[in-house]
Structure 1
Amino acid sequence: MNWIRHKSHSVFFKIFLSFLAIIVLFGLFYAVIFQLFKTSLQKEIIDNSQRSVHDTAERFNNQFSRLQVLMFDIYNQSELIGFNNQLRHHAGNEVNYLKARDVMMQMRSDIYNPLFFLEDTLIYLRESDFVLSKSGSGDAAYMFNRSYTSPMYPYSFWRGYTGHPESFKLLPASTYRINNDLSEKTLMPFVYKQPDSSYEVIALIDIDKAAQSFFGESNDRALAILNAEGQVLYTLGSMDQDQLPPFEAGQKAVLKDGTYYFAEAGSDGLTYVSAVPYSHVSSQLSRLTGGLLLIFCLSLGVALAASYFFSRRLHKPVKQILTTVLNRASSSAMPEPGSVTEYDLIQNRIQELFREKEEIRDRMNKHKSVLTSYSYISQLKSINTDISEWEDFLSDDGSFIVVLYHIRFRMNPVYELPLQTDQAVRHMLEHIHLITAERYPGSHTFQIEKNEIVSIFKREEAARLEELLLEIKDMLNEEKELFLVTIAVSSQVSDSSEFNQAYHQVKGLTAQAPLLEESQIVTTQRVLPTTVNLSPPQEKGLLDALQSGSDGRSLQIIDQALEAMQRKEAGIAQFRFFADSVASKILSYMEMAQIDKASVQSLKQWSARLAECHCLSDYQGVFRQLVEASCALVRKKKDTGEEPLIAMFMNIVHNQYAEDLSLDYLSAKLNLSSAYLSVYIKEKTGLNFSDHLLGIRMNKARELLACTDLTVNEISQRVGYLNITSFNRTFKKAVGMTPGAYRRQHVVQTHASGS
């Protein structure tokens, strides 16, 4: 007890106890916050599942609405009505089967639209027992029993189908065997038939593809679609009707047999039920809980270690002072103990220190200069360079091979490059240097640029170089979530003076490398795609989408172009060129739309991020941010007025009509293709570019002829015609008389009206 009481007054004990009190306080605070967070997180996971089934219901509702419009249009085609009447009242050669072909051609354009998720659309002419489809026409028995075979919907089912009081009817999905491609698919029939009608339209929906698009693919979730009577129309995943729990009025989530069921009633009368195992929710909580608990334990361990460490550090100097003082102390009486034992001892020995003051001062004066300079002497040998390795390389007359490691750091979830990239490159340099130097002592490895490492191998080492590079590639691929490396290998170079040529060769190979999401080795040049820009239809579609503020359509066009380049294996430099080109078009339109400069400047910051993209997902993510921000500004701005592009076009033509204007000049100024600009002007104004320019020039020429004394030659030049003969011919064709005749006629009319 005396030992404990004695130690409790020490500096170490008091400081360590203070640290422990703070740690305990923060630990309790963390436990409370963690419990609250865990409860809210579980609710958030459940709410997220509920939102997922709600979004799925909305997407299906919109899809079925689009199909209803499509089926209604097909049903009411004049060609279909006429063809059906001919089949009912005529026979043989009297029936015009070309009408059936027109109906099928129209159907194909809609069926092949991927947004409808249609396998086929069948038109069943009941009285004639005849069916039209995308691939042809034929007898109903053949179509339903051979072309589209289903045990649930054979020919006898459709022959006896009497319709429904409603015009549109969704039938349960069934497995169909499709004779055309000998495959099986799960299709959902969607029937449209008017009462007392002699034919009906049957849309066969590829429900698996639609469900995977709207609900997503997941191994531990399931989806069921129920009609108004509670009958299951379709299930994605493992779910039976007997498993579905009853839902009370207004109840949207039920936990049954270890599974959460989420229901959402759509406006189309269907009910969508999502099944998520409780283990899915609990596993997310467990992972997060385990992670947070591990962090807490690590934090607690670090805090305890730091507390002990800092307590010892604060205690050690005092203990050393006491040791020095006690070693010189005389046997004098001890003062009354205070709250801190160490400082009491210092107080007790202070008098002896004063007696030794003069002696210590003399000794310190003698050694002051030595003590002052001693601490700086050992800081001079910290420089390490690779100059000796360069000298060895330059002095070697043998041939060699250059290997370039081009490092591209991937962006994080907020589309920013990670920090400490320089440190990561240095670590990579050290690792590559160790591997290559161990295998090939004569090799040299350097860092050329901030994201480039170069290794040089002698000719005799080239035979085994492929094995080494494959090993380095596998090592780098272990961190492909953080960075991607393109390893380019040059051809053999015979002299060190040709190093610059070899370096430019491997630089070119890295620019030609495909945009893969893994490290790769490039040894030879390849043929690149010739076109890496938006096609005129895509450019027009993008501009139209931007003008309407549709970020979804804009992103779809850009993503399609990026994915097409990925399929064609475009090079890294080509992706950069394409990204800069599209971003430039977007920013140009923002300026034409008269968006304020501060907002455009923020868009330019996102555009600058494209230079840091190194994989397809990076480009798609940054373009998503740029396009969504741009369309939001357009929607905010778009509350009045005419089209900004047309306004700018008219402003240029009215103010620069006297210059040598051309469609190519305007397209370059507006950053658009001339073909697209010509079509756009014609579409929006009803006149093409030359008609606008001609009209403005002729109106100005008539004004100058009537109101000035300028000669015809001067007027010709003022309205943009350097050749007076061309001006006279154009003016006569536009006005019906020559410029001189027009001026004389105007003078006569003026005198006549004045008299």
Structure 2
Amino acid sequence: MVINSLRVKRNSLFAKLLLGFIVIIVISFIFNVLSFKFFTVSIHDEVVLYNKLNMSNTVSKYEEHFQLMGEVATNFYNNTNVTALSRDKTNFFAMNDLAVEFTTLVMNYKNLGLDNLFLYNGRHSFLVDKSGLMKEDEMFAKQYISAKYDTAFWAKQFDEDFYMRIYPAADFTRQTLHGLIEPVGKLFPVIVKSKLQKHYYIAALLDAEALYEKYHLSVSDLFYIADAGGTLYYSSNAQGQTVTPQSLAASGNYYMKNDNYYFYAQGEKTGFTYVNVVPNQNIAAKKSRLSAILILLLAVSLALSLIISVLLSIRIKSPIQKIIESMYKMNPNIQLGSKINEFNAIVDNMRTIIASNRSIHKDLQNKNTLLKKYGYWNKVKSIPIGSRDVQSLIDTSKPYFFVMFHLHFTRRFHELITEEQKKSHILEFIQLNIQLAFPQSETVQSEKDLIFSIVFAGADASGTLRGVLDKMKRVFDMDSEYYYVTIAFKPAPYSPSGFTAAYDEGREMIRRRRLNGETQIVSNFAGPHQDFHLTPSEDKEFAVRLAAANEADIMTMIGRMMNRLRANGTAEQYRQLAREIVSKTLLALVLQNINAGALQEELSPYEQIKEFVSEEQYDDFFRSLIGYAATLMNDKRMEKDSIIDFALTYMEQHYGDDIGPDAVAEKLNLSSGYMCKYIKNKTGKTFGDFLDDIRIMKAKEILESTDCKIHEVALHVGYQNANSFTRMFRRLTGITPGEYRREKRIDVASNIQ
């Protein structure tokens, strides 16, 4: 009996599970011991490899940076301003433009350590840097003072023969306006020369500490750079540290000396040697720390494995025993008290088998409902239905009413309710109300904001269906703060074959929604919706007035367009008008090289338009948009430029004379070709464009304030031919001078009333 009892226990599920777990633990323990032994041997190599990779990355970044600075400086040898200064040292326009370019580069590369960039002209003894024109003594005896790099050093570089040379970093100071000396930083002088230009060169000053902070990768802070001869170029240690090239050549990428590891690499472009010094105790301590952690983890994992094995064996055995007992007793109300999904699934399946008839019937019913909705969705979308099972579920033999619901959610709704909630709640509400009145109906969500219902009923049910929709509208209106609905309902039933036509007509009826924030029922279909677009003359007039930043005229023009929509315009047409105004405004700003990013910081104009439900909102939006754009246009126009300012001022004073580019260029001591090209490049408009704009602007003032005849106005603003004046006026404003005068007088009369 004792032997049989032991045999039974040995063959029990608990014993088998526990034995299996122990075998797995033993195998895992052996594997971990071998892995630990291997890891302790290779950890040193991994730490060394890690430092090698860090060294390689540091060298690569430094070399790329020095090469980039060389390319930046070299590009200036082809710069038109540098060429102009090489020929004429008094060309102050070129100096100013070059200083602006240097300032821009320094700002763009500030995070890359570029402190300054300058041109040194040895023939005429002057420099141009980011602050402008500067004398040699001012630059090297006040702004960048260094015992190592004095004025004589920089002048001597004209006699040296090289393309690009990087000099060791040195501490620079500057003298303030009060005579005090303040530090500038430790800087690398970088000089780039050209064999074709002997009398000037381009130089850069790089912040050595900034480069160190950006590119140095190591667990140690001791880093230095030396050239092939052992000259120290930079050291992160204040006392400095040198290394001989012979010691670096003794081994591969590192060597050990005085309990320190020296990791080094040589740059391909500069030939510099970059060295990281890592104390040996850092590597040894890391190795010991990791070894201790591994031993502790191995011991803890072994103990936990044994405890978990016993507990799991017990927890697996107990539910199985209960399941077996339940099977014997055919008791579906078994309570396992287990969190194991598989055991719970077995119990659930047992209960399912007992109640199979009711469950199978319910599943088939749900499946058929889903397939039926899928079938109707395919019918309205004109998608062929390949499954005969689906075809048998949908009814294509009876007439029906088609109702479409378009949902529009306000920003308030999005802030309070999730996407899934808004879809399910409204869909369920619509489906419930339709089915209560018409059990033979199907409601399907075809898109995220579109729901349609197919209602099978006779033609006399139109009034009942309309009553249901009116009731739903009253409910929707109570939540108008959060959403509103457009309901498309054609009172006449559709033929059985017209599913796609019904869907398309519903979409068109949705577009006929009027402009307000309430739920609407649209019942008429009078053909496709008419889109709203600006006429060619309106398009041209809008562009001209926006280019002139004439806010008042633009708003008057937009007011006329909105008047066209006020009687019969739909919400969609208002949105189309707004989208066209936005797109043309943004295009005008882009053509003027104006950054309009602030328009889209919070919500883009196109997204804002979707929220509008009244003319007041559109009017406020247009005023804000046009006002902002006009401000940007005026700010752009107010940017100072000596050549352009003089030319515009001259045209303002002599617009009535027969003037041309030659007369203005002569005043500026420039060629007319250069001046015209300069104005075109800077503003995007020609000399003639500016002159015509000024003349037409002056003509508008005369037309508004006097009764002068058209040919008299033309002569006054510089046009000898009245026909030429009229053509130009129409091209820039979209209307003739006479039409402009009449419109202005009508506006004045309406304001008086």
Q: TM-score, normalised by structure 2?
A: 0.38
